[in-house]
Structure 1
Amino acid sequence: MEFIVTLLAGIPFPAPPTPVGWVVLVLLLAALIFVLIRQRANTQMSWGLFIILFVLIPVTTLFIGLRFTSASARPLPDLPADAPGSALMIFSAIPWLLGGGMLGPLPAALLGAFAGLIRGAWDSYSLFSIVELAFLAVCFSFTTRQRYRTRAYTLLRQPLFGALLLIPIHALFYVLSALFTQWGVDATPITARLDFALSNLGVITLAFGGEMLMGGLFAQLISIAFPARWGSKQALQPSPGEKSLESRFLFAVGAFILMLLLTLLIGDWVVAGRAARELLEDRLSSAGESASQSVPFFLETGQNLAVQLASDPRLLEATDDELRSIIGSRIQAVPYFDQFIVLDANNKDILAIYPPVDSTTFRLYPDEDSGIFLATNGVLTQIYSIPPTNTEESARVSFMVAIVDSTGQVERILIGRTSLESNPLTLPLIDSLNNMNDLGGAGMLLNEKNQMLYHSDTTQSLSTYNGQQGSEAFFYDDTAPDGTREMVYYQPVFGRPWAIVLKVPAQRAQQIALNIAMPLAVMIIVLAVIAMISLRVGLRVVTGSLQSLATEANRIAQGQLDHPLQVKGEDEVAQLRRAFEQMRSSLQSRLEEINRLLQVSQGVASSLEMQDAVKPVLEAILSTGANSVRVALSPEVLPDTYVELPSRFALGDAGELYAHFDEQILQLAQSQQKIVLPNLTRSREIDLDPTKPQPLALLAVALRHENRYYGVVWAGYEQPRKFSDSDVRFVTTLAGQAALAIANAHLFLNVEASRRQLEAILNSTPDPVLVTDHRNRLLLANFAAAAALGPNVDDDARSRVETEKVIKLK
């Protein structure tokens, strides 16, 4: 981490998107515009504050910050620049965060887009930063200005919490921009861009998190200091989860599915990346071990062949053509060496060369020249690596052997040279190294001086290897000259200070990981989408049923009980619909009962004639499904009059057919308030006459009023019937009305009988007699009074005219 005063020290480089990236950028821009249109009413524009924040953006974005570095961070592919987005500009987020909280989404989007333009040119090197920061500003504005009343949304309105929530969104945008931004001139593979994005994601997230922490703290202080200017002032309203069961369930389950989806995708990627790396490591280690095992055999074979030739005694005495013929025949016999040289050990003169070359221009290489001195001092066999004859070939290996006489004195030096590319024993080694080109990597053979004796890229031969070294085989990650990450395998050669080094770009591992993870990732995403769609459809069925039940409940509340509910299935919703239907039908029945009771009460109160008074009661009971309803009065309740009064009243198709039960039921009802017989054939309380018609079910209620027994009302049913409590309660209530009507009629009959007796007594008197009430109103006049006062005196008595007025008028 290093302190930086300004980003202006760098070169502005807003890299354009790839062809597919342009499509992604346009789609993101369209989504941003759509969101702004939806939120246009939530804007609280203040031009003065907007201009101040707009002017502050270049200052806060370009000056005062920190540059984060990490061992895992990588520079831009093919460009000598710092990792994009690794700068933490301490005050950069403050202007557009304040714009989001104080001005609204649209001003915040404009401020964020301007900040993204500057940041994209000097730090992130991508045009995606324009849309990204505009989108983040709109998200922050929405979270801080929303007016939902639940606890979670209240926490979202806090600027610090809302700012920190932008960190994972920025990480997603960063990976997206890295995948679809073309930084170099040549088209960089998507796997290289993916590896670059994942390698730098930690550092980028840390830098942006620091900016959000500083900006969120500042915005939090501003919201506390100026609450009237911060956020929206609209009234709190129910959140979507409060207004919709479907939304609440989708938010909860959707969040769980999203977390599960991310976990599975990340786990899938980690497992696939580990498997891909293991595959590459196995391939590299296999190739490196195979190549390293061929090197000792190659060197020992060359050394043995050279020693075998040097032990030939003819090499001590032969000269010129004879010596040239000896070494030439050995080259032709064993196709290992491509050149033999015989030197005089004392003066280094060339005694013979095969194939022949111009001896005047021939020179030994420095290692070979110093090796002659070692040979004369007892080092009889030596091996050196020497440069190729031209730049298009690989390095060569020189085998030096001392030719000694019988006394052990070094007389001559034999040098055998061979090329790595042409030697038959090194062909498998060369093929193993060249196979790295198929993976986009490189293979090399190092000598004891870390010089590249062979490189799959021939231009790198005899250059120096500067990577890590060790006595054991190992893997490590390195950065290639073009800035891309690469895997390196170092395999030392057993018994020799040589080594095999294999390099493969890390993007190859990412490509293998993509090939492994992509099918499973697509399947996981498809299953998640199907699960969400299925969940939404299933919830829509449930919430639709609940909405229809709410509609039915409103109808019931409004008194519309003539709309039956369709009940299908046996699940919880069906049970709820069935309960609503039972409630509706029960309430409808109850209201109908109340309506009938009202009609009965009106009928009872409208007449004092016993037959007319009990008729509404009989009709109401008959509506319950009875085919016969009867009222049987006790003989004691009927007054003694000169006119015979009826004591039985019936209604229904079988009203008179069941009259023979009246006496039995009268006797039973005198001792029982209610007689409920669901199946009359199984009852022992009533004697059945098989010769007469009889009902199969019977319900009877005694008629009592003020502890006086007036009779019984009973209903007969032609089929067995299980009487519910509501049926018994309804008939009992009707029986009470009937008892009241009969009691009133009984009182009226008794009073009427008394009046008639008094009228008869008064008419037998010759003197005029007037009967008045306590208000001196005329009630009754005998015949003598009628003769004296006129024939209309009875009408005056009926109209309750005062007695003085009657006399005065007459």
Structure 2
Amino acid sequence: TRGIADPFCFGYFGFLVGFFLRQDYRGRLPLVVRQPVVAAPLAILFASSFLLVSTFVRVIDSGIAGLDYAVTLTWAHLIPLLLEGLAAGLVVQGVYLLSPRLRPVHAAHQTPPYSRTLSRRLLFLFVPLIIIMTFVQVYAVTATILGMAISDAVDEMARDANSAAEDVPYFIHTGQGLIAEFANDETLRQHDNPTALQNCLRGDLRTVAFFDQLMLFDGDGQRLAMYPPESVGDPDLTREEEKLLQRVLRNGAPQISTVHYSQRREPILAFMAPVENPETNERFGAMLGRTRMTVNPELDRALAGLQWTRDRGEGFMVDRTEWKVVAHSDPALLLSDWEVEEEAPRIATVLRGWAYESRNPRDNTRQLVYYLPVEGHPWAIVIRLPFEVVLEQATQIATPLLFLQLLLGGGLVVVIPLATRWLTRPLTQLAAAADRIAEGDLTQPIQVPGDDEVSRVGDAFEGMRVRLKDRLEDLSLLLRVSQAVSATLELPKGMPFILEGALKATRAQVARIVLLSADGDPQMVMARGEPREGLGALDRALATEARDVDSPLIIENLARARTVADPATLEGVIKAVIALPVRTKDQVPAVMWVGYGEPRQFDTSEIDLLSTLASQTAVLVDNARLFQAAEGGRRRLAAILSSTSDAVLVTDRDDRILLLNPAAERAFGVGGDAVVGKRVSEAELAPALARVFEEPLSPSEALTEEVPLPDGRTLYASVSAILSADGERIGRVAVMRDITHFKELDEMKSDFVATVSHDLRAPLTFMRGYATMLPMVGELDEKQHEYVEKILRGVGQMSNLIDDLLDLGRIEAGVGLEREPCHLGAILVEAVDSMRARAVAKGLTLRLEPAEDVAVVAGDATLLRQAISNLVDNAIKYTSSSGTVTVGLLVRDQQAVVQVSDTGIGIAPDDQVRLFEKFFRVKRRDTMGIQGTGLGLAIVKSIVERHGGRVWVDSELNKGSTFYISLPMMSETELAEDN
């Protein structure tokens, strides 16, 4: 509208669109409103009210006409705006479909305000419905009354127009009659007397007040006379008058001109008649009569009847041939253009004319136009009435009705919430009660007055509250009993809680538990309540009856159960009982029963509660039995651990110490309380033991390590995993035996071997020398050659054994061990190349796989080469022809791992345990022909351990073996310092 309020209207529209798209309420209606194709048109509908108000404010001075203008303009803009909003919504909807992440809301989380209470739901349903109905009724009343007002206005306009239409022929006929009467005057035929002619014209003009000027012409069209005279009147003919004159002189028929301007620019209508002799029909000339449209009394009278229809209308006459205004109360509008709107919808057709709606060209306001063609004449009557007049009349009629409608609608809007609140008050009370119940408050009763459905629901809620309260009290009781039972493992301490709980829950007179022996005989009784004495016979009878049944034994009237107990002995004491077997997995260790002073019927909840208490009793009995068994086992285990001479250490899965036996405390010189709960590495026991616990351990293997003690003793530690029932590792156990004596024996053996080896070296040298010199003494025969070769072979084997023993001793003593950066990749190449000839000679494939990465370790390159060569040599020895030996290098977690794999005969699991011991050789039929000293793998182990690494084997019988050497790699810092 280009008004000052336009920015606010657009801002309001943008706010509405943003709100509709970003609201995250749950439900179908919010989901539909969140779609752009709906949000944009809906926002336009709401924003149009702003447009209506802003438009009306600009023309508020016009009153009801301004309101009509604002409504009409808003309605005219609404359809295009809705189409624009729909198009924009479709575009944004397509963008959201192509890229869903652009949606401002992906999932709704909030509950709509109208769905939070039942009262709001009803209000959301009824209030908009009432408002819509009120607006529909207001619209219907307004439209009906407006139609009636329009109909009345059109009827009045039609009456005024029809009256004026009847005056038009009279006006025309009057002019024609007068001019014809004047033309028949005999005086006009006296052409030779101009004065008489002028006097005649003057007399005719003054006879009737119709014409403003009369003129007489002869047969040649020359003016003979005129009145008023030339000095006063208009002597010149217009073109249209000249044409009329020619037709009259030629045809002799009277003529009427159209309304046109005179030479003096005055709207005139000309009447012309021939001047003839009525007896001879001789034509002497023609008479012209002029009347001005602004002062003709007959025309003024007809126009006066067209004005002030409903005090606001205006009427005029138009010439239908040229669509010019020929008669109007405003002289300035004479001969102005006006044309009927043939295509405009006709409101009504009344008295040969019709009415339609148009716009006032001066102020663009609505107006009613009634158009009536004059029958038999090319003129038409037009009456225009401002639509404001119709609206004012409709307003006067509709105001009381509309006020009544709005009053009723407003009353309903006020009454409906009050009625809704009154109707939903019981439901609100029920909801509040449900909330209290959900929060655990069961103390307040629920009372809903009345006998309707809501009241019955309230009664059901009250019953549910009472039952739930009883149930929660039972559960609370069971919880307290369960906590008390779980807090003790002794029957004398736990049973009273169960018995007191049974008394409190059932309001019984006495509660008793009869403990049974393994044979099912009553052994001991625990009781609560009164009486406690004199019920032994009933205890035995109930125990005997209940121990062999699976369900509770219910006796509602003990006097009738003569098979259970003699009524005479129980007279006045117990009248009803319920007995339950206390059943564990495989036996019935007890029977629990409660007694009542009067006969009664037991409900299901009471029986269920007692059954639960019986189950708690079974748990207590079972726990006590298990505790006694576990305590006995614990004592036996403690005795075993205390009496054994081996040190035992147990840790959890995080290597925290759980147990040290006395032998371990004495071995490490610590107290158990000081180290229990600490990690092995933090307990300061022994570094070697801490290293064993830091190494990864599979469930199926055990780690062994020699643990030197500060006092010089040595323990042999074997660490194994502790597994749960489902195979999960839950800790470790280390068993350590004192092997100091064995170490001393091993050192003595090593010294002896070293001495013997050193003492044997010289004799062996003599033997080899003299044996090789035998051929120099004389030629030997074939048998002698065979003996000499056997002597040399035996001497060579003994020399190799002595060399291996000396090497092993030197390695274990650390003599000559150098520390320098060693490239394992290069060492592997040298070791493999040195063994390639032996592999080819045996028909094997010796393959060196490319290393994954560069591995540099700190150590003695010669010894490392010897260790790898020993492994490759072993693989070649125990792999048959056409087999494969593979050597590779891996890098894992700063550890260089050398692996030597073969496809040989494999090693049995029992032999793998002792494989790296000195002088140990696998004794199998297929290895008898393979020669060796049994020291090669021992030398490998000694070399690897001297370099801070470890060696192990992974083998499967008859499928091959893989030996691994793992060595710590040098860090970048150590390499930089060494460089």
Rounded Cα–Cα distance in structure 1 between residues aligned with 2:606 and 2:84: 80
Alignment pair present for 1:451 and 2:374: no
Matching of residues 175-574 of structure 1 within 5 Å = 175-182=52-59, 189-201=62-74, 204-224=77-97, 227-228=100-101, 230-232=103-105, 236-317=109-190, 319=193, 322-353=196-227, 355=228, 358=231, 362-385=235-258, 395-405=267-277, 406-420=279-293, 422-435=295-308, 438-439=311-312, 441-446=314-319, 448-468=321-341, 473-482=353-362, 483-556=364-437, 563-574=444-455
Rounded Cα–Cα distance in structure 1 between residues aligned with 2:161 and 2:376: 15
Alignment pair present for 1:127 and 2:7: no
Question: Which has the higher mean CA deviation after the structures are superposed, 262-271 or 245-254?
Answer: 262-271
What CA deviation, in whole Å up to 9, does each residue of 1:342-381 have, x standing for no partner? 443435324252x556278633333333322222112332
The alpha carbon displacement at 1:149 in A equals 2.5
What CA deviation, in whole Å up to 9, does each residue of 1:678-723 have, x standing for no partner? xxxxxxxxxxxxxxxxxxxxxxx999999xxxxx9989xxxxxxxx
The alpha carbon displacement at 1:469 in A equals 7.0
Rounded Cα–Cα distance in structure 2 between residues aligned with 1:510 and 1:639: 104
Root mean square deviation, CA, Å:
4.8
What is the aligned partner in structure 2 of residue 157 from structure 1? 34
3-state SS of paired residue (1:444): strand
- Is contact 2:275–2:284 with CA below 8 Å preserved after alignment? yes
Rounded Cα–Cα distance in structure 1 between residues aligned with 2:377 and 2:141: 43
- Is contact 1:420–1:454 with CA below 8 Å preserved after alignment? yes
3-state SS of paired residue (1:238): coil
The alpha carbon displacement at 1:495 in A equals 1.1
3-state SS of paired residue (1:453): strand
Give, as a single letter, the amino acid of the residue that structure 2 aligns with 1:539.
T
Rounded Cα–Cα distance in structure 2 between residues aligned with 1:361 and 1:263: 66
- Is contact 1:145–1:232 with CA below 8 Å preserved after alignment? yes
Matching of residues 623-638 of structure 1 within 5 Å = none
Matching of residues 161-176 of structure 1 within 5 Å = 161-176=38-53
The alpha carbon displacement at 1:531 in A equals 1.9
Rounded Cα–Cα distance in structure 2 between residues aligned with 1:466 and 1:415: 30
The alpha carbon displacement at 1:130 in A equals 0.9
Rounded Cα–Cα distance in structure 1 between residues aligned with 2:53 and 2:565: 105
Residues 399 and 130 (structure 1 numbering): CA distance in 2 closer, same or farther, change over 3 Å? same
The alpha carbon displacement at 1:210 in A equals 4.0
3-state SS of paired residue (1:397): strand
Rounded Cα–Cα distance in structure 1 between residues aligned with 2:566 and 2:270: 156
What is the aligned partner in structure 2 of residue 138 from structure 1? 15
Rounded Cα–Cα distance in structure 1 between residues aligned with 2:54 and 2:136: 22
Unaligned 5+ runs, structure 2: 344-350, 475-501, 513-527, 537-556, 581-595, 611-979
- Is contact 1:343–1:352 with CA below 8 Å preserved after alignment? no
Give, as a single letter, the amino acid of the residue that structure 1 aligns with 2:55.
A
- Is contact 2:255–2:273 with CA below 8 Å preserved after alignment? yes
Give, as a single letter, the amino acid of the residue that structure 1 aligns with 2:353.
A
Superposition misfits of 4+ residues, deviation over 6 angstroms: 388-391, 469-472, 585-597, 609-613, 631-641, 701-706, 712-715, 727-734
Residues 236 and 566 (structure 1 numbering): CA distance in 2 closer, same or farther, change over 3 Å? closer
Question: Which has the higher mean CA deviation after the structures are superposed, 150-159 or 511-520?
Answer: 511-520
Give, as a single letter, the amino acid of the residue that structure 1 aligns with 2:45.
P
- Is contact 1:382–1:401 with CA below 8 Å preserved after alignment? yes
The alpha carbon displacement at 1:296 in A equals 0.5
Rounded Cα–Cα distance in structure 2 between residues aligned with 1:732 and 1:467: 95
Give, as a single letter, the amino acid of the residue that structure 2 aligns with 1:281.
V
- Is contact 1:399–1:417 with CA below 8 Å preserved after alignment? yes
Give, as a single letter, the amino acid of the residue that structure 2 aligns with 1:524.
Q
3-state SS of paired residue (2:257): strand
What CA deviation, in whole Å up to 9, does each residue of 1:63-122 have, x standing for no partner? xxxxxxxxxxxxxxxxxxxxxxxxxxxxxxxxxxxxxxxxxxxxxxxxxxxxxxxxxxxx
Rounded Cα–Cα distance in structure 2 between residues aligned with 1:265 and 1:258: 10
3-state SS of paired residue (2:332): helix
3-state SS of paired residue (1:364): coil
Rounded Cα–Cα distance in structure 2 between residues aligned with 1:163 and 1:359: 75
What CA deviation, in whole Å up to 9, does each residue of 1:150-197 have, x standing for no partner? 233223333333223223224333333322235xxxx86255444545
Residues 271 and 590 (structure 1 numbering): CA distance in 2 closer, same or farther, change over 3 Å? same
Structure with a larger share of its residues in strand: 2
The alpha carbon displacement at 1:591 in A equals 10
What CA deviation, in whole Å up to 9, does each residue of 1:542-592 have, x standing for no partner? 333322222334445667565445544444444444554565578789999
Rounded Cα–Cα distance in structure 2 between residues aligned with 1:236 and 1:560: 29
Give, as a single letter, the amino acid of the residue that structure 1 aligns with 2:147.
R
What is the aligned partner in structure 2 of residue 51 from structure 1? none
Residue 529 (structure 2) aligned to one of 585, 606, 612: 606
Structure of greater relative contact order (alpha carbons < 8 Å, 6+ residues apart): 1
Give, as a single letter, the amino acid of the residue that structure 1 aligns with 2:418.
V
Rounded Cα–Cα distance in structure 1 between residues aligned with 2:147 and 2:184: 55
- Is contact 2:315–2:381 with CA below 8 Å preserved after alignment? no
The alpha carbon displacement at 1:460 in A equals 0.8
- Is contact 2:317–2:379 with CA below 8 Å preserved after alignment? no
Give, as a single letter, the amino acid of the residue that structure 2 aligns with 1:600.
A
- Is contact 1:288–1:491 with CA below 8 Å preserved after alignment? yes
3-state SS of paired residue (2:414): helix
Residues 459 and 422 (structure 1 numbering): CA distance in 2 closer, same or farther, change over 3 Å? closer
Residues 432 and 597 (structure 1 numbering): CA distance in 2 closer, same or farther, change over 3 Å? same
Residues 235 and 733 (structure 1 numbering): CA distance in 2 closer, same or farther, change over 3 Å? closer
Rounded Cα–Cα distance in structure 1 between residues aligned with 2:259 and 2:41: 62
What CA deviation, in whole Å up to 9, does each residue of 1:277-303 have, x standing for no partner? 333332332222221111001211232
Give, as a single letter, the amino acid of the residue that structure 1 aligns with 2:507.
Q
- Is contact 2:221–2:285 with CA below 8 Å preserved after alignment? no
- Is contact 1:394–1:461 with CA below 8 Å preserved after alignment? no
Rounded Cα–Cα distance in structure 2 between residues aligned with 1:375 and 1:402: 6
Residues 408 and 129 (structure 1 numbering): CA distance in 2 closer, same or farther, change over 3 Å? same
The alpha carbon displacement at 1:252 in A equals 2.8
Rounded Cα–Cα distance in structure 2 between residues aligned with 1:155 and 1:635: 73
Rounded Cα–Cα distance in structure 2 between residues aligned with 1:335 and 1:389: 20
Matching of residues 757-772 of structure 1 within 5 Å = none
Rounded Cα–Cα distance in structure 2 between residues aligned with 1:559 and 1:640: 47
3-state SS of paired residue (1:600): coil
Query: Identity across aligned pairs (percent)?
Result: 24
- Is contact 2:213–2:233 with CA below 8 Å preserved after alignment? no
Residues 611 and 127 (structure 1 numbering): CA distance in 2 closer, same or farther, change over 3 Å? farther
Give, as a single letter, the amino acid of the residue that structure 1 aligns with 2:123.
L
The alpha carbon displacement at 1:638 in A equals 13
- Is contact 1:421–1:430 with CA below 8 Å preserved after alignment? no
Rounded Cα–Cα distance in structure 1 between residues aligned with 2:435 and 2:79: 56
3-state SS of paired residue (1:125): coil
Give, as a single letter, the amino acid of the residue that structure 1 aligns with 2:409.
A
Question: Which has the higher mean CA deviation after the structures are superposed, 415-424 or 372-381?
Answer: 415-424
Rounded Cα–Cα distance in structure 1 between residues aligned with 2:570 and 2:106: 81
Matching of residues 617-656 of structure 1 within 5 Å = 647=571
- Is contact 1:556–1:584 with CA below 8 Å preserved after alignment? yes
The alpha carbon displacement at 1:147 in A equals 1.7
- Is contact 1:567–1:574 with CA below 8 Å preserved after alignment? yes
The alpha carbon displacement at 1:125 in A equals 0.8
- Is contact 1:437–1:456 with CA below 8 Å preserved after alignment? no
Give, as a single letter, the amino acid of the residue that structure 1 aligns with 2:50.
F
Rounded Cα–Cα distance in structure 1 between residues aligned with 2:321 and 2:566: 147
- Is contact 2:183–2:274 with CA below 8 Å preserved after alignment? yes
